[in-house]
């Protein structure tokens, strides 16, 4: 994923037009969100005619879906950045992964609001383009929860469907921080609140029901 906006491209390597179109789509949506992806603007950046894009993408939504999947993969990379040095036991590793999923998700949303909006936008063709197991951030969350069960930290009967309240909590927090009352708060308060939210989710998940 690009780290900064790039000037319009004048050429691309032979055989790499699809990747060039994806990179241009990423550049446009980084600050403008899904509405900024206009096929004519994408092809202008790459330096080809709009018709050339149809060799790789059926329409604008097909390109946007591919951009969304690339962004979701970038979110997982941000989650990996939140992982601490390897814990000494399986339970600690599973908890650390679950925390990294939550904080990485929120951190990505705060740093890249345009891309975050694209990542889970309602796009025709996205379900078909994604894997059967769901978007990459969800797969990381599911894996963390399954590892908690394997380590004995999470009861098997409490595992079913646990990804949805976990995801809802961090997604809701991200929206509050981007568009709700938290957006006017100092960044350090927002981040400490994010950490508290994730910690509360994990504590509640691992606390046996009375």
Highest CATH level, class, for 9-57: mainly alpha
Other beta carbons within 10 Å of 52: 13
From 113, 84, 119, 118, select the one nearest 98 (Cα to Cα): 84
Radius of gyration of the chain (CA): 19
Residue intervals in the chain for CATH 1.10.10? 9-57
Instruction: Report which DSSP code applies to 153.
Output: S
**Alpha-carbon distances of 113 from 71, 74, 201, 207, rounded to whole Å:** 11, 13, 23, 33
Whether this prediction's pTM lies above 0.75 is answered by yes
Is residue 125 over pLDDT 70? no
Q: Mean per-residue pLDDT for 80-107?
A: 88
Residue intervals in the chain for CATH 1.10.357.10? 72-206
**Alpha-carbon distances of 73 from 14, 54, 96, rounded to whole Å:** 25, 24, 19
What pLDDT score does 90 carry? 81
Question: How much of the chain exceeds pLDDT 90, in percent?
Answer: 71
Topology of domain 72-206 in CATH is Tetracycline Repressor; domain 2 (1.10.357)
What pLDDT score does 123 carry? 61
pLDDT band per the 50, 70, 90 thresholds, residue 210: low
Per mean pLDDT, which range of 21-30, 33-42, 125-134 is the poorest?
Answer: 125-134
Handedness of CA 98, 102, 107, 112 (dihedral sign): positive
What pLDDT score does 25 carry? 96
What pLDDT score does 84 carry? 84
Is residue 3 over pLDDT 50? no
pLDDT band per the 50, 70, 90 thresholds, residue 135: confident
Helix pair angle (39-46, 17-32), 10° resolution:
120
d(CA 33, CA 41): 14
pLDDT band per the 50, 70, 90 thresholds, residue 129: very low
Q: Mean per-residue pLDDT for 83-90?
A: 79
Distance of CA 154 to the CA centre of its chain: 25
């Amino acid at each position: 994923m690009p780290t900064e906006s790039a000037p319009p491209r004048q050429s691309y390597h032979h055989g790499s037009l699809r990747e060039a179109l994806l990179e241009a789509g990423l550049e446009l949506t980084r600050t403008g969100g899904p509405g900024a992806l206009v096929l004519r603007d994408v092809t202008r950046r790459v330096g080809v005619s709009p018709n050339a894009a149809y060799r790789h993408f059926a329409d604008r939504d097909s390109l946007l879906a591919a951009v969304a999947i690339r962004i979701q993969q970038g979110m997982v990379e941000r989650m990996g950045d939140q992982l601490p040095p390897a814990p000494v036991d399986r339970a600690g590793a599973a908890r650390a992964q679950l925390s990294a999923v939550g904080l990485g998700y929120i951190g990505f949303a705060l740093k890249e609001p345009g891309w975050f909006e694209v990542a889970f936008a309602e796009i025709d063709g996205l379900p078909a383009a994604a894997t059967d197991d769901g978007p990459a951030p969800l797969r990381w969350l599911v894996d963390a929860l399954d590892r908690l069960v394997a380590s004995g930290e999470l009861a098997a009967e409490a595992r079913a469907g646990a990804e949805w309240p976990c995801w809802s909590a961090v997604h809701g927090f991200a929206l509050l921080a981007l568009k709700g009352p938290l957006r006017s708060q100092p960044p350090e308060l927002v981040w400490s609140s994010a950490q508290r939210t994730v910690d509360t989710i994990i504590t509640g998940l691992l606390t046996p029901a009375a």
